Amino acid sequence: MADNPIRQLMNPSSIAFVGASNRFTSMGTIQCMNLIAGGYPGEVLPVHPKESTVLGKKAYRNIADLPYAPELAVLVVPTRLVLDMVEDFGRLGTRSMVIVTGGFRETGDQGRGMEKTLVERARHYGIRFLGPNCLGIVNTHLPLNITVGPMQDHNGSLGLASQSGTYVAQVVSYLHRSGIVLSKAVSVGNEADINLIDCIEYLGEDEHTRAIGLYIEGIRDAARFLDVASKVSRIKPIVAQYVGGTEAGARSGSSHTGAMAGPSRLYEALFEQAGIIGVESIEDVYKTGWALATQPPLRGKRVAILTNSGGPGTGIAHTCNRGGLEVPEFSREMQEKVSAFLPGHASARNPVDLTFHTDMKALTEEIPRVLFSSDEVDGVIIHGIMDTAFMELLHPVLEKFAKITKEDLIKMASISMDALVSMPERFGKPLLISSFFGKEDHCIQTFHERHIPTFDAPEKAGRAMGALFRHLQFRSRPMEKAEDPGSPPAEALRIVEHASQIGFDEFSAKRLLKVYGIPTPREALSHTLEETLLKAREIGYPVVLKACSPTVAHKTELGFVHLNLKDEAGLEAAYRSIRGKDGDSPLLVAQMLKGDRELMAGITRHPGFPPCVVFGLGGVLTEALDDITLRLAPLAPHEASEMVDGISSRRILGHYRGMPPVDRAALNTILMALGRISIHFPHIREIDLNPMIVVNGKPFVADALVIV
């Protein structure tokens, strides 16, 4: 990590700040004030053309007047000044910059040209920079803050990298109220030089960061993203929100494969393959990330739920189950231990429901100790712990019946949380808290101070525990890598070269598949009726007859496919039907596959991404069923297996209604072979194998489409 440019950005001994003044309402001044007032221990060197001092610091008229080359320069100046200032700092010897100024690529062609010049000048001087059009960085451990949001908490453990400056700079009060403390945070802006992937790499090795949160609008280099994130996620959890994949942004394709593998699915596949936990909101990035950053990792899937109300407990249990976790009924011995602290009407089965039992010691100490110490439990979620906030609400009612001040009532209500907050570390198991109260409650305040995650809805706590389980699954994956695709076979090169000149028809597509070991039916080309009848006799009835032209993609809709032809009479009728619509194209005579299930597979491509391998349910209803999984090529064996297991209808791949299980090894072979083809032949844009018919458990490609 020594050469990662973010290390220098986060740990400078001196900072030159250009764009701050003594006018407290300007953006640059606010950022510089936060830097100084936040306790930055290094030297701050303001540059201002008129002021002799800025915010109590000696100011310099020009960059050339600085007494030495600062380790970091921050620019919050008009766009027209940036290029010359980069050159001035380059000549001085500064090698790290944060360029907050906007007005570059995001504004159009002229700005794009300026950004290109900016990169060229920075590279000439060996400068690495963040931005432009960013809102700066935060290091709560130095401390260092050059954003517009004042630093409120220090020494956190959740790292953040965001393609939105707001989510770094304007969320400080929200994070403070939620008890969440960042370790390092980076607003990447236009990513003209330093990018989001550099941030993941840096945070992955940062000693203060235990989990990483990402806000993503788009990734330009998905191959490097996948490589870096896959390595980091085995060590530290990564949670990410992606917001660029709506249907409006999806690219339509010529095949089923291309049409279904739009951006949202592509990023979901990228996250899954990289071991990243995808979430739906920025709140989940912070709160789920905080749970991953502060709690011991899950070692299993069994969750104990402790609550003072049945509804929240049921909501948590339901959410946990949907996330793949178990909420097992406790053993008789365990229930007896728990029951010792319950009122007679309460349940000890799991969830443990005190039904608004007012003895908070049972909820905060006695029962949690039983749960954490049990071999039947891997993680604990508690709902309903409260003390002072509830009594403060109750005081207007109580004072009508008893003479007690609010202060005395709150003092009486306050309970000790010392035993509970120490249990996660003591037992090595995560603890998550659900409560409808916030920091106004003494208990919640204590949880925040001791870095125990709290959630304002039961289901949110359940989803966060599900994220801990996803990270356990990612950590448990095999350590295997995708095999080296090597060079394409000579026969494949000949087939592709010839077909690329005249167009890929189905026969050529299947010849290519056979070279890679993908099973296809017996078939042959014919032109005349006599030749068609001869080929059918050689293959054996029943057969299929199709028009075989590179210009026709979806033949069924045009009446160019005739199935289950059992004799010569049926074959001759099919021949004349096709010839009535197309008198020139070759015909494909193929073995009629009689199977019990139809699947599909293929590849497609998107700009900036490695080729994508697709698998799912097949047949004419492929797009309507919309049950597919994706991975980026090349595939490791476990990735192919995860694709097969990832479809919602995976049950039909096993013993199902008298059908034998599908040969999963054969499916894996097909998917990995498709990955190799996509690497070997970059000009093949899409491959669509639909349907793949399962015959006695073995998959065969009944139809194939290749688009170059």
> Rounded distance, CA 168 to CA 147, Å?
8
Query: Quick one: which of 691, 642, 650, 687 has its CA closest to 668?
Result: 642
How much is the pLDDT for 104? 95
Contacts of 93 (CB under 8 A, 6+ apart): 69
> Rounded distance, CA 451 to CA 154, Å?
12
Element (H, E) at 580: helix 568-581
Q: Give the angle subtended at the CA of 260 by the CAs of 256 and 263, to the nearest 5°.
A: 145
Contacts of 576 (CB under 8 A, 6+ apart): none
pTM for the full predicted model: 0.92
Helix axes 388-398, 406-413, angle to 10 degrees: 140
Mean pLDDT, residues 464-481 taken together: 95
Query: What count of Cα atoms within 13 Å lies in the side-chain half-sphere of residue 691?
Result: 19
> Rounded distance, CA 146 to CA 407, Å?
40
The total of other beta-carbon atoms located within 10 Å of residue 412's CB is 12
What pLDDT digit, counting tens, does each position of 203-240 carry? 999 999 999 999 999 898 999 999 999 999 999 999 99
Judge contact between 177 and 439, C-beta under 8 A. yes
Residue 533 has pLDDT above 90, yes or no: yes
Instruction: Quote the mean pLDDT of the chain.
Output: 93
Residue 257 has pLDDT above 70, yes or no: no
> Rounded distance, CA 531 to CA 8, Å?
74
Task: Assign 688 to helix, strand or coil.
Answer: strand
Residue type, 37: A
Query: Quick one: which of 73, 50, 75 has its CA closest to 60?
Result: 50
> Rounded distance, CA 125 to CA 84, Å?
13
In the chain, the percentage of residues whose pLDDT exceeds 70 is 96
Judge contact between 706 and 684, C-beta under 8 A. yes
What pLDDT digit, counting tens, does each position of 621-673 carry? 777 778 899 999 999 999 999 999 999 999 999 988 889 999 999 999 999 99
What pLDDT digit, counting tens, does each position of 39-96 carry? 999 999 999 999 999 999 999 999 999 999 999 999 999 999 999 999 999 999 999 9
> Rounded distance, CA 112 to CA 105, Å?
4
Q: Give the angle subtended at the CA of 101 by the CAs of 146 and 75, to the nearest 5°.
A: 55
Task: Assign 87 to helix, strand or coil.
Answer: helix
Q: Which domains are seen in the chain, by residue range? A: 5-209 (3.40.50.720), 295-475 (3.40.50.261), 522-592 (3.30.1490.20), 597-707 (3.30.470.20)
Helix axes 664-680, 637-646, angle to 10 degrees: 120
Judge contact between 353 and 316, C-beta under 8 A. no
Phi, psi torsion values for 668, nearest 5 degrees: -60, -40
Residue 347 has pLDDT above 90, yes or no: no
